[in-house]
Amino acid sequence: MQQSESGGGAATAEVQLSDQPNALIACKVPEEVFNEQQLKEQFEALFLEFDPSTSFQFFKSFRRVRINFTNALAAAEARVKLHKSDFNGKEMRLYFAQVVHIGSPRLEPPKPEKQFLISPPASPPVGWAQSQDAMPVVNYDLLCAVTKLGPGEQYELHTGTTNTPSVIVHVCEDDSSDGEDETAEGSKRMRPKIIQTRRPDYVPSVNQ
């Protein structure tokens, strides 16, 4: 029973270590580390003690260094022993690098839920059916009233009240004067003819 318990504990420790990142981020690194080779070697030597195969990535603009270990155990030990330690007169801060799962390295097309909103649509959505046009509503009472209208007569559509005005339709008389207007004296005169503006002649340009 004791052996099985120890074996289960080791398996749990392996699972926990495998979930941990194997890289550290050193923040607020002194600028001398990026400019002086000797200080850079001293900085790297601190982490090479935990893993001789450690690699480094220096980001001078951000004053940060990424330390890549070959296993998560070495990264955890380095973080425990060197976090907030003194280096070149300044406190060193170490944090585990966050693992970002991007997924597919290629840009995937958008999901087709709303592609029918694109103009012109690629295809209608699943289950879409064209709606049938409703039958036109013919108001026969209105047509009958229109046929009874005569030229020169008045028809009251709405009787006025003390608060609302009345609505009266005056039907125009049939104009068969062929372009003539009747004056106040009873004589007729010709209506002025509207002359359309002449379009200018098209002259091709030299560039064409």
Question: Which domain CATH number covers 35?
Answer: 3.30.70.330
Q: Whole-prediction pTM value? A: 0.42
Least confident segment among 110-114, 116-120, 178-182: 178-182
Residue 34 lies inside a defined structural domain of this protein: yes
- pLDDT score of 6: 46
For residue 158, tell me if it sits in a domain: no
What pLDDT does 67 receive? 92
Report the domain count for the chain: 1
pLDDT at 102: 64
Q: Are 51 and 24 in contact (CB under 8 A)?
A: no
CA torsion 137-142-147-151 (nearest 10°) is -130
Residue 13 within any structural domain of the chain: no
Average pLDDT, the chain: 76
Where in the sequence is the domain holding 61, given as residue range(s)? 23-96
Q: Which range, 20-24, 43-47, 167-171, is most confident?
A: 43-47
The continuous run of DSSP H or E covering 123 comes out as none
Is residue 28 included in any domain, yes or no? Answer: yes
Confidence label for 47 from pLDDT (cuts 50, 70 and 90): very high
Condensed to tens digits (0 to 9), the pLDDT of residues 152-163 reads 677 777 788 888
Question: Distance between CA 1 and CA 39 in Å, rounded?
Answer: 53
Q: Determine, yes or no, domain membership for 53.
A: yes
Does 61 map to a domain? Answer: yes
Mapped onto helix, strand or coil, the DSSP state of residue 14 is helix
